[in-house]
A and B are shown apart, each in its own frame.
Chain A
Amino acid sequence: MSELITLFVTSVLINNVVLNQFLGMCPFMGVSKKRSSAIGMGLAVIFVIVVAALITYAIYYWILVPLNLQYMDLIAFILVIASLVQLTEMFIKKTSPALYKSLGVYLPLITTNCVVLNVCLVNISNSYDFAHMLVYSIGTPIGFALVLYIFSTIRERLDIANVPNPLKGNPIAMIVAAIMAMAFSGFAGIV
């Protein structure tokens, strides 16, 4: 049990997918200008990663391994993620217009979010059992959403701050991201 808690804390804070592994930088920079957008993107990423990890884990161990097709994991996972995003978008369109209004526009963007593929591949390459896979697949997107939310609140304040002209926009955002990465590296001592 303590191993699972350690894995969760590690995936959320210590090995944070954005600040430590530098994955998912496109939505991190692009969808962090407003807090509401960051929350929508974070929720959509959490949902898609958890479901994609479950499906790709099942496909790998129930189809690819018995057929000795492990080398097809990358292409199979990409197709699964793309299909899942289509299915999710269609399902949300039909069942919950309110949810579609807040998440729908970000769903196609998730197809190209490398964090999703990274989680699916790490689950396989680290040979996680089901419990570890589930914890890692929940922890990683929570870490992504947490960092995205914190970053968006800082950027909202930066909009009204007196920033020198050459640093306005993305340059000051990159500096903030670097300071956040240094701050998050301090969590390494807790495990």
Chain B
Amino acid sequence: MELKSALGAIVVFGSLVGVYITLYKLNKKTPLPPGCEDLKADCEGCHDYACTNNPHHER
């Protein structure tokens, strides 16, 4: 029973990660609509450098 549960956990986790990677790649391949190539968020909130909206990425 424990082995079955562990396998189930691996399959569920792997499937969700697989779905995320697939959607991420498909999203990156999808061309941006015309006029949206250089959109910027008006955000100066938390100064989190990992966030893609941080102005640090534009320097």
Residue numbers of A with Cβ under 8 A of B are 25-27, 29-31, 33-34, 37, 63-64, 67-69, 72, 75-76, 79-80, 82-83, 86-87, 89-90, 93-94, 97, 100-101, 104-106, 108-109, 112
Can you list 26 residue pairs at the A/B interface with Cβ under 8 Å?
Answer: A27-B43, A27-B45, A29-B45, A30-B43, A30-B45, A30-B46, A31-B41, A33-B44, A63-B12, A64-B12, A68-B8, A69-B12, A76-B13, A76-B16, A83-B16, A87-B27, A90-B23, A90-B27, A93-B30, A94-B30, A101-B36, A105-B39, A105-B41, A105-B53, A108-B52, A108-B53
A87 with B23: CB separation less than 8 A: yes
A-B pairs with lowest CB-CB distance, top 7: A30-B45, A97-B33, A86-B23, A79-B16, A30-B43, A67-B8, A90-B27
> Measured between alpha carbons, how far is A34 from B32 in the docked complex, in Å?
24
What is the 8 Å Cβ interface bit string for chain B, positions 17-52, against chain A (1 contact, 0 not)? 101100110110011111110011111111010011
Bound: A76/B10 CA distance, A = 11
* Chain B, residue nearest A32 (CB): B45
A101→B5 contact, CB < 8 A: no
Please report the total number of B residues contacting A with Cβ < 8 Å.
Answer: 32
Chain A: minimal CB distance from B29 (Å): 9
User: Smallest CB-CB separation from B31: which chain A residue?
Assistant: A93
Q: Tell me the bound Cα distance from A101 to B32 in angstroms.
A: 10
Which A residues are CB-close (under 8 A) to B24?
A: 86
**Chain A residues with CB below 8 A from B42, complex form:** 31, 33-34, 37
- A90-B30, A93-B33 known; A80+B41 contact, CB < 8 A: no
Q: Besides A105-B39, A106-B41, A109-B53, 20 other CB < 8 A contacts? A: A25-B46, A31-B42, A64-B12, A67-B5, A69-B8, A72-B9, A72-B12, A75-B16, A79-B19, A86-B24, A87-B27, A93-B27, A93-B31, A97-B34, A97-B35, A101-B36, A105-B41, A108-B52, A109-B51, A112-B51
B45–A86 CB distance below 8 A: no
Check if A104 sits within 8 Å of B46, measured CB to CB. Answer: no
Complex CA gap A135/B14 in Å reads 31
